[in-house]
């Protein structure tokens, strides 16, 4: 009997994937470019604990290069590999569902036009059903830029800001006080229903506060309305078998609350890691503790902020020993990512990259698990760990 702690460093890619050309992402490298950014300042990214778990080796496997300016680990204590994504998209639900054993092999719908992105009919229905005075945006945008540009007009007019990106998303930004948080959630739920014919992965509520463009800031009350995964994930199988599936952060939202037995929200890497640690003290055998650290992606990757991303990685690395110290002899820890989001890459979208697969536990033999064909190897390893029926995709690395 065992427990697994899976921590997703959201967007922490480790080099362009073999099929990056299909996404315009040849040369993207989230980790490598962050390391380079820090090395150019004459320093080295200080992530000794991640390196000891095999991050540098995984990076070398994915790219054929050493990360710039980082001292190699004296000893590797974890299993390390680099995984290709089988799913057709480079979005958050695809990455998470695939690591839970269910790759997304169909194509999502997308709103491809940069301007006037949404069908007029859809917007008309949303305005009518939600009794809105209209909407603002209707374009591709970075979420922080668009609230700066349209936040004041939104507050004055009561029209929510509706925007999208290269992902299969419809996002709605609105002011928590002037528009109202609950009203924003209701409008998003309505949008979720109206999007049925469009095959869109997620509607995301993007509440913000502040009085004008100089201080508008998004809050931790973001909410994701995902469609459910297309087949039962390892989360469903574990919870049906009587195990605990404990979501920390936005995991539950990403899985449309399927297969989750407990959920906790927290804002920021420190709070999310503290919650993970707290849950580890009480979670019974046959528990999957599943944490998503969204901040890497939303605060630094999409914001194209390599400095902030580097600091967040260093913070995460400092917090990591608390997690390993709290592990029981049969526990395994898996660190991975759901896609890349290279903070030095043009635009503000995700990047198609390999993700690290780092696994650590007293029962695991350290060493390379090499290139993995799919993130679903994580789900398959979890199925094996918990004694569940094998998943349809993936190859377990527990005994490799
Ligand atoms: O620019 P913001 O609002 O952070 O949006 C980003 O967050 C969305 C979900 O990860 C992505 O589709 C991307 O566009
Ligand atoms: Mn993500
Ligand atoms: Mn993202």
pLDDT at position 244 is 98
- pLDDT surpasses 90 at 185: yes
Residue 82 pLDDT > 80, yes or no?
yes
Q: Is 350 in the pocket of ligand 1 (CB under 6 A)?
A: no
Which ligand is in closest contact with the Cα of 96?
A: 2
Give 137-170 pLDDT, tens digit per residue. Answer: 999 999 999 999 999 999 999 999 999 999 999 9
Number of other CB atoms surrounding residue 365 within 10 Å: 10
CB 357 within 8 A of CB 58: yes
Q: How far, in Å, from the CA of 304 to the mean position of ligand 1? A: 12
Over residues 349-375, the pLDDT tens digits come to 999 999 999 999 999 999 999 999 999
* pLDDT tens-digit readout, 47-65: 999 999 999 999 999 999 9
From 298, 300, 342, give the residue whose CB has the most ligand 1 atoms within 8 Å, as the site to mutate.
298
B/e letters for 331-349, b = 16+ CB within 10 Å, e = fewer, are bbbbbbbbbbbbbbbeebb
Q: 181, 227, 193: which is closest to 122 by C-alpha?
A: 193
Q: What is the location of CATH 3.40.720.10 in the chain?
A: 3-106+230-385
> Which ranges in the chain are annotated with CATH 3.30.70.1250?
120-226
* Closest ligand to residue 224's CA: 1
Between the alpha carbon of residue 179 and those of residues 123, 149, 183, the distances in Å are 18, 17, 7
Closest residue to atom 10 of ligand 1, CA basis: 92
Q: How confident is the model at residue 294 (pLDDT cuts 50, 70, 90)?
A: very high
Q: For the chain, give the mean pLDDT.
A: 98
pLDDT above 70: percentage of residues in the chain: 100
Centre of ligand 1 to C-alpha 299, Å, is: 10
What's the pLDDT at 1?
76
Closest by alpha carbon to 11, among 147, 141, 144, 167?
167
Contact yes or no for 261/246 (Cβ under 8 A): yes
Distance, in Å, from the CA atom of 290 to the CA atom of 261, rounded to the nearest integer, reads 11
Atom 7 (ligand 1): residue with closest C-alpha?
Answer: 298
Q: How far is the CA of 55 from the centre of ligand 1 (A)?
A: 26
Reported as a single tens digit per residue, the pLDDT across 162-172 is 999 999 999 99
CATH architecture of the domain covering 3-106+230-385: 3-Layer(aba) Sandwich (3.40)
- Give 48 Cα–ligand 3 centroid separation in angstroms: 26
User: Which amino acid residue places its CA nearest to atom 12 of ligand 1?
Assistant: 167
pLDDT of residue 86: 98
Residue nearest to atom 5 of ligand 1 (CA): 143
Ligand at shortest distance from the CA of 97: 2
Q: Closest Cα to residue 202, out of 89, 337, 347? A: 89
For the segment 217-256, what is each residue's pLDDT rounded down to a tens digit? 999 999 999 999 999 999 999 999 999 999 999 999 999 9
pLDDT tier for residue 192 given thresholds of 50, 70 and 90: very high
Yes or no: domain 120-226 corresponds to CATH 3.20.20.80:
no
Nearest CA to ligand 1 atom 14: 165
For residues 249-267, give the mean pLDDT.
97
């Amino acid at each position: 009997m065992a427990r697994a702690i899976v921590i997703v460093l959201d967007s922490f890619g480790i080099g362009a994937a073999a099929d990056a050309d299909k996404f315009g992402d040849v040369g993207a490298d989230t980790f490598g470019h962050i390391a380079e950014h820090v090395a150019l300042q004459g320093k080295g990214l200080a992530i000794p604990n991640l390196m000891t778990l095999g991050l540098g080796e995984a990076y070398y496997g994915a790219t054929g290069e050493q990360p710039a300016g980082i001292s190699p680990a004296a000893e590797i204590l974890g299993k390390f590999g680099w995984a290709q994504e089988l799913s057709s998209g480079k979005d958050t639900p695809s990455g998470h569902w695939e690591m839970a054993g269910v790759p997304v092999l169909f194509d999502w719908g997308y709103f491809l036009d940069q301007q006037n992105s949404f069908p007029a009919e859809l917007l008309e229905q949303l305005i009518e059903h939600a009794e809105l005075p209209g909407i603002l945006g209707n374009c591709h945008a970075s979420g922080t830029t668009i609230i700066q540009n349209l936040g004041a007009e939104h507050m004055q007019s009561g029209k929510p800001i509706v925007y999208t990106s290269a992902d299969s998303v419809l996002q709605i930004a609105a002011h928590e006080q002037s528009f109202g948080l609950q009203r924003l959630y209701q409008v998003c739920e309505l949008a979720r229903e109206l999007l049925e014919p469009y095959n869109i992965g997620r509607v995301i509520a993007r509440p913000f506060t502040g009085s004008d463009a100089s201080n508008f800031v998004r809050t931790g009350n973001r909410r994701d309305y995902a469609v459910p995964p297309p087949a039962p994930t390892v989360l469903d199988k574990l919870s049906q078998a009587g195990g605990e599936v404990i979501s920390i952060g936005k995991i539950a939202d990403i899985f449309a609350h399927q297969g989750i037995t407990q959920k906790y929200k927290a804002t920021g890497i420190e709070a999310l890691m503290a919650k993970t640690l707290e849950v580890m003290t009480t979670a019974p055998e046959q528990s999957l503790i599943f944490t998503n650290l969204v901040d890497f992606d939303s605060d630094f990757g999409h914001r194209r902020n390599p400095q902030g991303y580097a600091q967040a990685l260093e913070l995460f690395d400092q917090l990591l020993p608390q997690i390993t110290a709290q592990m029981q002899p049969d526990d395994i820890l898996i660190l991975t990512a759901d896609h890349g989001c290279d903070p030095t890459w043009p635009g503000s979208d995700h990047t198609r990259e390999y993700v690290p697969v780092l696994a650590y536990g007293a029962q695991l033999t350290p060493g390379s698990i090499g290139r993995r064909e799919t993130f679903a190897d994580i789900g398959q390893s979890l199925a094996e760990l918990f004694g569940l029926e094998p998943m349809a995709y993936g190859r377990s690395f527990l005994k490799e």
